Amino acid sequence: MEQAKIRLFVEDDLAEGAVLNLAAQAHYLTNVMRLQAGALVALFNGRDGEWTARLVEAGKRRVTAECLGQAVGQGMPPDLWLLFAPIKKARTDFIVEKATEMGARRIQPVFTRFTNSERVRPDKLRAHCIEAAEQCGGVYVPELLAPTPLDKLLDTWPADRRLMFCDETADGMDAMGALTAAGGDKWAIIIGPEGGFATEEAERLRALSQSVPVSLGPRILRADTAAVAAMALWQVACGDWRV
């Protein structure tokens, strides 16, 4: 089958013969990309894999598409959560985009003692996740949770979920060894705020029995850099980059 060049996330169910209303994407499809009736698009909704669909109508206001067949099954990324303390807007957007590309299943903003920004717009962040999923060829959009205080989250931390904790005092630790040795298939990575964790927070994180402290080298990384670097190490050691 001819290959669709444009990938779109939709909320509707996808199944053979289903006709979807793409009104929300009409401007993009007809004005920006200049698609006409008959053009193929790839659609995914995070549940039904990726479907090849053909535009039936491609008007200024009304765009519809019919699902022809499933091109990719619904794979799931590994069971990895990314916890991060919201930072300046551009970098928060960036973290959310990167978490999607790097294959996080859930994104959880956390408020720490030194979190500067308390303004998180979940709807905007979700739009970044969707755009990143459309671009990266994934069929999954991470679940984006409402921000929660770190203390509250740790009070009920699941016993079977390991927590990779990027510990600035863990220099010289064997990151890959620690991740591989910890094992398990439920994980989270926590990235601290710009000013680092407060002493009590770092102590609580270290004391948690599910915690796996890992060093990210001798230089201080910004939170957004640390998020990508930590997810890369985790994916290679425990996730779907592993051979």
- Angle ∠(23,25,28) on CA atoms, nearest 5: 130
DSSP notation for 96-150: HHHHHHTT-SEEEEEE-TT-------HHHHHHHHHHHHHHHT-S---EEPPPEEH
Q: Mask: binding to a second copy, 1-30, rule CB under 8 A, as x and -?
A: ------------------------------
Q: Tell whether residue 218 is a contact of a second copy (CB under 8 A).
A: yes
Please, which of residues 165-194 interact with a second copy by CB under 8 A? Answer: 172-177
Q: Which stretch binds a second copy (CB under 8 A): 10-18, 24-32, 196-204, 209-217?
A: 209-217
Please, which of residues 43-72 interact with a second copy by CB under 8 A? Answer: none
Of the CA atoms within 13 Å of residue 21, those in its CB half-sphere come to 4
- Angle ∠(139,94,223) on CA atoms, nearest 5: 120
Looking at beta carbons only, is 119 or 219 nearer to a second copy?
219
Among 6, 37, 182, 236, binds a second copy (CB under 8 A): 236
Among 88, 89, 121, 222, binds a second copy (CB under 8 A): 222
Task: State the sign of the Cα–Cα–Cα–Cα dihedral 24, 119, 89, 111.
Answer: negative
Query: Least distance in Å: CB of 176 to a second copy?
Result: 6
**Token digits for 236?**
């290679």
* Integer Cα distance of 153 and 240 in angstroms: 26
Among 64, 108, 210, 235, binds a second copy (CB under 8 A): 235
Distance separating the N- and C-terminal Cα atoms of the chain? 30
Q: Tell whether residue 136 is a contact of a second copy (CB under 8 A).
A: yes
Please, which of residues 72-131 interact with a second copy by CB under 8 A? Answer: 75, 94, 97-98, 101-103
User: Could you list the residues that contact a second copy (CB under 8 A)?
Assistant: 75, 94, 97-98, 101-103, 135-138, 172-177, 215-222, 225, 228-233, 235-236, 239-241, 243
